[in-house]
Amino acid sequence: MRRTALLVSAALLTGLLPLASAGAATGAEEPPPVPVDRFEGEVPFASQPAEGIFTWGGDSDDPPELELAARDDAPEGDKVLSGTYDISGYGGFTHDFAANEPGHDWSAHKGIRFWWDGKNTGKRVSFEIKDGGANGEASELWTTSFTDEWTGWHQVEIPFSDFAYRTDYQPVGGIDQNLGLTQMWGYALTLPTGTPGTFAMDGVELYGKADPALTTKVLTGAAVYPVKEGGTAGVRISVATTGSAPLAEPVTVAYESAGGSAGAGTDYTPVKGEFTFPAGTASGATHTVSVPTLKDKAAEPAETIPLKLTVTGAKAPAETPQVVIDAHGLPYLDAKLPVKRRVADLLSRMSLEEKTGQMTQAERNAVGTGGDVAAYDLGSLLSGGGSTPTPNTAAAWAKMIDGFQLRAQATRFQIPLIYGVDAVHGHNNLVGATVLPHNIGIGATRDPGTAEKAGAVTAAEVRATGIPWDFAPCLCVTRDERWGRSYESFGEDPALVKQMETVVQGLQGARDGKDLDRDDKVLATAKHFVGDGGTEYGSSTTGSYTIDQGVTKVTRQELEAVHLAPFQEAVDRGIGTVMPSYSSLDIIGDDEGPVKMHADAAMINGVLKDRMGFDGFVISDWQAIDQLPGDYASDVRTSVNAGLDMIMVPTAYKDFRTTLIDEVKAGRISEPRIDDAVSRILTQKFKLGLFEKPYADTSGAAAIGSAGHRAVARTAAAESQVLLKNAGGVLPLKKSQKVYVAGSNADDIGNQTGGWTVTWQGSSGKITDGTTVLEGMKKAAPGATISYSKDASAPTDGYDVGVVVVGETPYAEGIGDVGNGNDLELTPADQAAVDKVCGAMKCAVLIVSGRPQLIGDRLGDIDALVASWLPGTEGDGVADVLYGAKPFTGQLPVTWPKSQAQLPINVGDTAYDPQFPFGWGLTTLRTPPGGGTLTLKALALAAAAAQKAGSAEAGRAVVGKARLLVQQKVGQEITPAVAEPFADADHLLLSGRYADAVAKLTEAYRAA
């Protein structure tokens, strides 16, 4: 069965992928088919920015194997694209058009078709096309599917009208949700999973004449039009064409108010009519239909008035617009009443379906334009890491979230959504926001004031985009630096984590929640309850993770002292929500074995809610209940009965809500448990002021990324720099020196901000606004000779000092686990840069990373060593300490190991022999006191007096002087006899035991 495509012009013969479809047909003529792929070798196997076919998959085994195979029965030409696959997660292939050329215009055609060699498997194959955007990997995805239900070659025809906007994933968060067809970047196929298979396809081409309904659409200004009782709603109806051309033919719209919960003649005046947009009307022209509502004296819930539209000559709106008469006169709407009374009133009116909706959180991409918000009474939406609007601006965030909030106004009680986002070091999903150091750097500052200010900057920028809820802070106590989330922790000592929990007040304001309705505060989330930082290496069963989401095996005493203590502090500070950990808890001696935290009723109900007195609500982690043993009904039942109040089910919100309803009706989840969960959720919504102000207050948007906010981040970055070694006083630099700068992280904003920046995993390069370390140095020493050679390949002669900035590239969560393609060694390129520069001149090495890097074998050749952590967007802060505008004051928040074999290593260990102990950090702020042991004796007396008086400021000052004295004597000769008491002293200082801290430092001094 050989077929040759009809090619009617030389242009088509020489250019199989024309930039515009061949001569748009007129009248009844259909344009000739336009080949996209013949698979004769004209399109290579390649990837962006070159044009090509490439494979992809969920893991290394999922991408299919492809070849261009000669077949006698090829439907078109001599070869076909054939392949084999065995996919466990997801996999398929893509043909992307070249990113450095204009997109292709498919708008003259009806659809796309291709030949498929059927195996009659009965399985569905997804087919998607790429519309608009910058290129094929930054486009909008539209998807459909076909079923392999025949044997042999069959031509699959897919009209463009069959494609739907993909709601589960969009590369750039979606663009305009309009299939324009004028800038197309290719197509992709997702192959079946579960069993091995083979496939073959041929002759991909555009066919048919465009359906006029695809090029002309009738749109409504909104899907929902709230109006106060007695007011008149104006429903805006407009016409739009592809390419914004004037209408070629008239478009008629008939409208009629019909159905809904409002009563015609009693709640509103019925309307019915028709109007026409004449031929030649400009694209974007608008007509408004007025719907008058009537006023009575009864208090009542919201009522809906659908406005049915019948369109001739264009594609009708995807949804029927609804006028909504606002709920009014009910006690829960009275802002003067106590929150508790408002909650009780609203809860008493809600159905089971409405209650379970409040317990359901979906991802914003999954709900598309948002119709399901009202259809399923959803209580919450979130943006996963990197799930952003397009363009990724503050205004677009606010518009997007307001659009979702508008949908909630179509529900009976108009309960507003609570929208959440992972703003873990600033509003990190928003390009241009202030990105602060990750928590590990904040822990290094030892400054609760800085932590609180960092939280305040984050809250202000997040709330200014319409988001009232932040999934932060992480109160994990990191106990093993092989963990890919180490940088999300303030440190390895619970006393340090507790000290940094001033961030909660920065985010939420007052402990009683009275500030939550402010336009610069957000609801905070303590995560991940409990023990996520203590998982054992090798215990994870999640994909290729080695430690993240694994098992924390501890005694009950260690659990209380290390992992639970920060959560009690958070509860005391009024934290509004708590998120359980993916990990499991195995308490030694209780004989229960590992229990997934999302199923641990003893910890969530018993400890968190009952013993600690937590009165906020518990939100699950992303799809976390799916990891529980048993079927889905069991997952839902177990997690809710364990104390989870809201479940993050990004795409499975329909199944979750249905299952939850079924479980309640079957008596396996009690109605009081549901009422408790919903009461907790509603309480926070009332405190946030969402019922009175559901939409974004953007009055603070001008401060996003402002000089004032960046000043806070700059200070935090400077305070987070830990000076580990400074032989010969290399640092601070002098502005008169000629400086040779090298290393992979000297001039890379993406690397210095790390994971959870713009996207979930973060990425290298110029991903957001900010100042790199190199740029900061040039600003700090204008006119100075500062040369940069990333790989240190440039000549090194004639320089006074070298600065080599090395470390990690971004990662997040288990993707960053050591053993999952990562280690704690510098890359060969970074090692070479250190060796070359430090071999040629005095040098300072800055390590930009989320955790310690193994540097011991090079330490002798390095004059100055700085742990820079992940300083965020303000490289100026790093430059401030390098050039002495601010002093080095940071201290290690975690132990710096000598080798990976030592891990885990933490303060308090009986065998403790690190490269640098917990709390180590030289300073350029002041010189150490003299007097040796006599001075230490005097400091011990002063520390005891400060401790007795409860003077934290005096106590810290005294212990700080003793630290300086010890570090001066020790130098780089850090023996176990020195390291152990030195680290213990820092723990004691953090715990307020100043006299004991000086005693330990005296012990370290004597051992040096």
At residue 764, φ and ψ (nearest 5 deg) are -75, 160
Q: How far apart are CA 390 and CA 361, in angstroms?
A: 22
E-strand stretches of 313-417: 322-325, 360-363, 380-383
Q: Are 465 and 703 in contact (CB under 8 A)?
A: no
Sheet with 577-580, strands from edge to edge, namely 525-529, 577-580, 617-618
Q: Are 876 and 438 in contact (CB under 8 A)?
A: no
> CA 42, 45, 47, 50 torsion: positive or negative?
negative
Which tokens in the block code for residue 861? 């050749």
Taking the mean position of all CA atoms in its chain, how far away is CA 392?
13
At residue 891, φ and ψ (nearest 5 deg) are -130, 150
SS3 readout for 436-455: CCCHHHHHHHCCHHHHHHHH
Judged by DSSP in three states, 785 sits in coil
Q: How far apart are CA 158 and CA 162, in angstroms?
A: 7
Burial of 601 (C-beta count, 10 Å sphere; 0-12/13-18/19+): middle
Nearest to 875 by CA among 721, 767, 705, 736: 721
Q: Which residues contact 375 (CB under 8 A, 6 or more apart)?
A: none
Residue type for 38, please? R
Q: Are 255 and 271 in contact (CB under 8 A)?
A: yes
E-strand stretches of 33-169: 34-37, 52-57, 65-70, 79-85, 91-96, 111-119, 124-131, 140-147, 151-159, 164-165
Element holding 291 (H helix, E strand): strand 286-292
Q: Are 29 and 40 in contact (CB under 8 A)?
A: no
Q: Are 874 and 775 in contact (CB under 8 A)?
A: no
Nearest to 186 by CA among 47, 338, 341: 47
At residue 336, φ and ψ (nearest 5 deg) are -80, -15
Which tokens in the block code for residue 482? 């092989």
DSSP class of residue 525?
A: E
Q: How far apart are CA 684 and CA 357, in angstroms?
A: 16
Catalytic residues: 621, 813
Taking the mean position of all CA atoms in its chain, how far away is CA 227?
35
Nearest to 917 by CA among 610, 473, 621, 493: 493
Q: How far apart are CA 968 and CA 709, in angstroms?
A: 36
Q: Are 920 and 982 in contact (CB under 8 A)?
A: yes
Whose tokens are 């959720």? That residue is 681
Q: How far apart are CA 714 and CA 104, in angstroms?
A: 45
Is the backbone peptide bond immediately before 528 cis, with ω within 30 degrees of 0?
yes
Judged by DSSP in three states, 348 sits in helix
Is the backbone peptide bond immediately before 246 cis, with ω within 30 degrees of 0?
no
Nearest to 678 by CA among 978, 436, 348: 348
DSSP class of residue 789?
A: E
Nearest to 983 by CA among 905, 907, 893: 907
Nearest to 374 by CA among 333, 343, 332, 405: 405
Nearest to 801 by CA among 791, 815, 787: 787
